[in-house]
Amino acid sequence: MSNSCPKCGFDLEAGKPCRVCGFFPTAAPRQALGSAHAPAAVPVSAAARAPAASSRRPASRGPLVVLLSAAVGLLAVLGVFIMGDMRGKSSAPEAVSVPPAPSPVAQPAPSAAPTAPVLDVSEPPFDITTREEDPPTSDRTSYVAWMRARTDQKEKFLLQKWELAQSMLRMRSVTHPRILTAILRAPREYFCRDARRAYEDAVLPIGYGQTISGPHMVARMTDYLDPQPGQKVLEIGTGSGYQSAVLSELSNNVYTIEIVEPLARETDAIYRAREARYPEYRNIHRKVDDGYFGWPQEAPFDRIIVTCGIDHVPPELLRELAPEGIMVIPVGPPSGQTILRIVKHVGPDGVVSLDREDIFQGKKRQIFVPFTSKQGGIHVIEDKKEVK
């Protein structure tokens, strides 16, 4: 066997791997040191190899030989360091993340935190005031015939919706003719996850720990909100999408926020699938976010409706409510909320005052799903004091 390494040309010691490239002359378990996972061989020229052999000669050497010998010695020390480092590691490949070389071009400053995803609406928007007629509300037969001729809603659901609307009138859940028309237009069966139960007067599950409010509750809250076509309306808690569908029958500018992203995208798909037959859904602007902070980029809002329970009125929502604007919101502990209608007044001196009214006049409390935060908890007011 040669005394020189066949890989790099440096001296070999019997029974030991090359100190520079790791080559091992026999088929021993340490053969992996000469594999692709070992450090790459250091390229050495023929001129550099020559002094390695002459290093065993007597000390009478010329300056050039001494200089070359020193260079070879330095490389040998480097080889010992590399091999010593390899002996302390497994021969298995190790993933190494190599940072890219710095760019000579100055890097831009870090961008702001990513904004919440906005589920863009389709174009063009639809002006509900261009409708030439509304469904008749005088009798059931005329209503069903009108809706059957102009929508894709099934007769069995239209009949159920008609009967439900009559009970809303009797119980005064609806007092405005426009709100009644919106309820009669909107297909609740498309938004309930179980269409068979769409017109039950009940709170129904829609998945993700969320619910769709009962139709009487939707009607009364919308009736007290009373949005107009040219007003901007904000809904906190998109949920099933039914409340915003009703609002889109009343306003050209509906904004809705849902914190549960899978639910928001599921409801967004329902709107998109139906907007060819219901172009008013193109007016519903959707966002995935924490509704506690409203939608400041689009504020102020003439109307705000909150469909989740909270123990105080979120101050940001009050700030985003326009002067003389109306907010309808369930306020109270988790055991039951009072649904308040709040009117915001701003005096000539800028002082804000609020008029509050219980829409059930103290006769009823309702349990809504909690107003949750991005961290998964519920929003509570600091020091347990309600914002005035």
Cα(295)–Cα(293) distance, integer angstroms:
7
Helices (H), the chain: 46-54, 63-87, 140-150, 155-170, 177-185, 215-225, 242-248, 261-274, 315-320
Please tell me whether the peptide bond between 124 and the residue prior to it is cis, using omega within 30 degrees of 0.
yes
HEC string of 131-179 equals CCCCCCCCCHHHHHHHHHHHCCCCHHHHHHHHHHHHHHHHCCCCCCHHH
Contacts of 300 (CB under 8 A, 6+ apart): 232, 320, 321, 322, 323, 325
Residues 78, 188, single domain; the answer is no
Residues 196, 309, single domain; the answer is yes
Give residue 207's pLDDT.
96
Phi and psi based region of residue 239 (left: phi greater than 0; alpha: psi -120 to 50; beta: remaining): left
Asked if residue 107 belongs to a domain, the reply is no
Task: Indicate the residue among 68, 88, 108 that finishes a domain.
Answer: 88
Give residue 380's pLDDT.
67
Asked if residue 101 belongs to a domain, the reply is no
Asked if residue 26 belongs to a domain, the reply is yes
Asked if residue 319 belongs to a domain, the reply is yes
- Residues in the chain where the model's pLDDT stays below 50: 1-2, 27-113, 383-388
**At 351, phi and psi to the nearest 5?**
-75, 130
Give residue 116's pLDDT.
72
Asked if residue 299 belongs to a domain, the reply is yes
| Domain, as residue range, for 60 | 1-88
Please list, residue by residue across 225-234, b when 16 or more beta carbons sit within 10 angstroms of its beta carbon and e when fewer do: bbbeeebbbb
Sheet holding 118-119, edge to edge: 118-119, 284-288, 253-258, 232-236, 301-306, 321-331, 338-346, 352-358
12: Cα within 13 Å, side-chain hemisphere: 20
Cβ burial of 304 (10 Å; 0-12, 13-18, 19+) is: buried
Cβ burial of 41 (10 Å; 0-12, 13-18, 19+) is: middle
Residues 66, 125, single domain; the answer is no
| Number of Cβ atoms within 10 Å of the Cβ of 378 | 14
Task: Indicate the residue among 46, 68, 88 that finishes a domain.
Answer: 88
Q: Please pick, among 173, 213, 244, 251, the residue that the annotation labels catalytic.
A: 213
Residues 190, 301, single domain; the answer is yes
Asked if residue 99 belongs to a domain, the reply is no
The neighbouring-strand residues paired with 370 are: 309
**Is the separation of the CB atoms in 127 and 283 below 8 Å?**
no
Cα(134)–Cα(181) distance, integer angstroms:
7
Residues 279, 190, single domain; the answer is yes
What CATH number is attached to the domain comprising 265? 3.40.50.150
**Would you call 69 a catalytic residue per the annotation?**
no
Give residue 40's pLDDT.
39
Give residue 379's pLDDT.
78
Token pair listed for 239:
């949920």
Cα(186)–Cα(129) distance, integer angstroms:
16
Asked if residue 13 belongs to a domain, the reply is yes
Please tell me whether the peptide bond between 333 and the residue prior to it is cis, using omega within 30 degrees of 0.
no
Give residue 122's pLDDT.
76
Give residue 33's pLDDT.
34
Residues 171, 25, single domain; the answer is no
Asked if residue 336 belongs to a domain, the reply is yes
DSSP assignment letter at 7: T
Residues 317, 214, single domain; the answer is yes
Cα(80)–Cα(217) distance, integer angstroms:
81
Give residue 16's pLDDT.
76
The neighbouring-strand residues paired with 345 are: 353
Cα(284)–Cα(298) distance, integer angstroms:
13
Residues 5, 123, single domain; the answer is no
Residues 174, 39, single domain; the answer is no
**For the chain, what is the largest distance between any 2 Cα atoms, rounded to a whole number of angstroms?**
123
**At 233, phi and psi to the nearest 5?**
-120, 130
Residues 65, 177, single domain; the answer is no
Give residue 11's pLDDT.
65
- If one counts the domains in the chain, the total is 2
Token pair listed for 350:
């800028």
Instruction: Give me the amino acid identity at 130.
Output: T
Residues 9, 49, single domain; the answer is yes
Give residue 119's pLDDT.
86
Give residue 289's pLDDT.
96
Task: Indicate the residue among 88, 105, 136 that finishes a domain.
Answer: 88
Residues 171, 82, single domain; the answer is no
